[in-house]
Amino acid sequence: MIRARSETLRSEVVRKSVKPSPSIGGGSTSGQASHERPTRKVFDAVSEKRTFEAELHPALLTEEMVLEVDGFSLFYGAAQALWEISMGIPKGKVTALIGPSGCGKSTLLRSVNRMNDLIDTVRISGTMRLNGDAIYAPGVDVIELRKRIGMVFQKPNPFPMSIFENVIYSLRIDGERKKSVLEEVCEASLRGAGLWEEVKDRLHDSALRLSGGQQQRLCIARAIAAEPEVLLLDEPCSALDPIATGRIEDLIEELKGSYSILMVTHNMQQASRTSDYTAFMYLGRLVEYGPTEELFVQPRLSETEDYVTGRFG
């Protein structure tokens, strides 16, 4: 037993020490010299503990932004998790955040609706604006702010109540009592989340009896019931099987246009299938951000190419 543990420990140490070398090496040796891309800038920035100027594609300039992030840094106590991120999230489009684990995708996402406020040690600098309104200004009412932003989490988290009550939760906490309004919103949201046909006959059953995929679509219905200005999806499919994942992806496709979506995903196929724009992050820095197709097919930085082609991460 003890020996087994020490072996795993050792192998972890080995893996950790070995891991960066192929990626760095990959960046330089795999070459693809024809493209002549600048290399190793991110790794230099990381090792020198400084910020990194992201590569932003010009296509972004034509978009109207629903959310603007400017020089945003975040610290967990002494550790810096985000390094002066500056980016805009286009209105009515799907933007995907990709990057290896621990790169700060989820932290950035949770900063948008200030979920990080729940952690005592978090400090931030820089600004974020939602349709021009500062998110981190001193007088901002966080409760009101969150009502303008919908969020869906990694694991389906339906509340311990009926399907109906789950969907209209945000209206309930606003004190809406009119039954006709509640029912209308419930139906519209469930239709929007593609769940109506499956649950219309058992709206008053416990939401916890639904399958995992249905629960996640219920969470999406709950998020869009408040008609949010931006919808945050934090790896919405990571806990689901491929069929449920496919349904959620179709749903994201359908929601595109009516909602501005910012999603975190670990799955690069998913990012390439569903998103209009993709941002690649690495160790708290935004590396490259542009239209999904460009980023996957013609990335400007070799680090991005290494990541999207699977050489590291």
Partner 1 sequence: MSEVLEAPVPQSRRVRRRASQRATSLFSNGEPMVWLTGGALALCVVMIVGMLCLVAVQGSGTFWPRALERFERLGASAVLGEVVQRETYEPNAAAFAGRDEATALELRARAERAGNVAERWLVRTENFELTGTHYTWVSDFEVTARSQPEWALSIERREGGPFYGELVGFDVGGERVATEPGAAWALFEEHLPAVVERVEARRAIERDEIGRVNRALEEQRLAVRRAELEHGPDAAPTRAARELAAAREQALQSEFQRLRGEIEALVRQNERFGLMIESADGTETRIPLGQVVRAFPVNQLGLSGRIGVYGARTAEFLTDEPRESNTEGGVLPAIFGTVTMTLVMSLLVVPFGVLAALYLREYAKPGPLVSFVRIAVNNLAGVPSIVFGVFGLGFFCYFVGASIDQLFYSENLPSPTFGTGGVLWASLTLALLTLPVVIVPTEEALAAVPSSMREGSYACGATKWQTIRRIVLPRALPGILTGMILAIARGAGEVAPLMLVGAVKLAPELPIDGEAPFVHPSRSFMHLGFHIYDLGFQSPNSEAAKPMVYTTTLLLIGIVVLLNVVAIAVRAKLRRRFQGAQV
* Residue ranges that bind partner 1, judged by CB under 8 A: 113, 115, 118, 120, 143-147, 149-151, 153, 155, 157, 159-161, 169-170, 172-174, 206-212, 215, 219, 222-223, 226
What is the sign, positive or negative, of the torsion defined by CA atoms of 218, 220, 226, 227? negative
Q: Whose Cβ is closer to partner 1: residue 96's or residue 220's?
A: 220
Q: From the CB of 238, what's the least distance to partner 1, in Å?
A: 13
According to DSSP, the β-strands at 230-234 and 261-264 are parallel
Q: From the CB of 118, what's the least distance to partner 1, in Å?
A: 7
CA distance 241 to 114: 30
| Closest to 81 (Cα-Cα) out of 19, 39, 125, 142 | 125
Q: Whose Cβ is closer to partner 1: residue 75's or residue 159's?
A: 159
DSSP per residue, 6-17: HHHHHHHHHHHH
Strand partners, 204: none
Say whether 54 sits in a helix, a strand or coil.
coil
* Cβ–Cβ under 8 Å, residues 165 and 173: no
Structure tokens at 118: 């729940």
Q: From the CB of 290, what's the least distance to partner 1, in Å?
A: 29
Q: From the CB of 212, what's the least distance to partner 1, in Å?
A: 7
CA distance 261 to 259: 6
Q: From the CB of 3, what's the least distance to partner 1, in Å?
A: 13
DSSP per residue, 163-190: HHHHHTHHHHHTT---HHHHHHHHHHHH
| Closest to 204 (Cα-Cα) out of 182, 171, 227 | 182
Structure tokens at 13: 């140490």
Q: Whose Cβ is closer to partner 1: residue 19's or residue 204's?
A: 204
Q: What DSSP element (H or E) covers 118? A: none
Q: Whose Cβ is closer to partner 1: residue 96's or residue 223's?
A: 223
Q: Whose Cβ is closer to partner 1: residue 190's or residue 207's?
A: 207
Q: Whose Cβ is closer to partner 1: residue 95's or residue 106's?
A: 106
Q: From the CB of 153, what's the least distance to partner 1, in Å?
A: 6
Residues 6 or more apart in contact with residue 4 via CB below 8 angstroms: none
CA distance 269 to 308: 9
Q: Whose Cβ is closer to partner 1: residue 28's or residue 211's?
A: 211
Q: Whose Cβ is closer to partner 1: residue 78's or residue 118's?
A: 118
Q: From the CB of 112, what's the least distance to partner 1, in Å?
A: 10
Q: From the CB of 302, what's the least distance to partner 1, in Å?
A: 37
CA distance 166 to 224: 12
Phi, psi of 89 (to 5 degrees): -105, 115
Q: Whose Cβ is closer to partner 1: residue 30's or residue 238's?
A: 238
Q: From the CB of 113, what's the least distance to partner 1, in Å?
A: 6
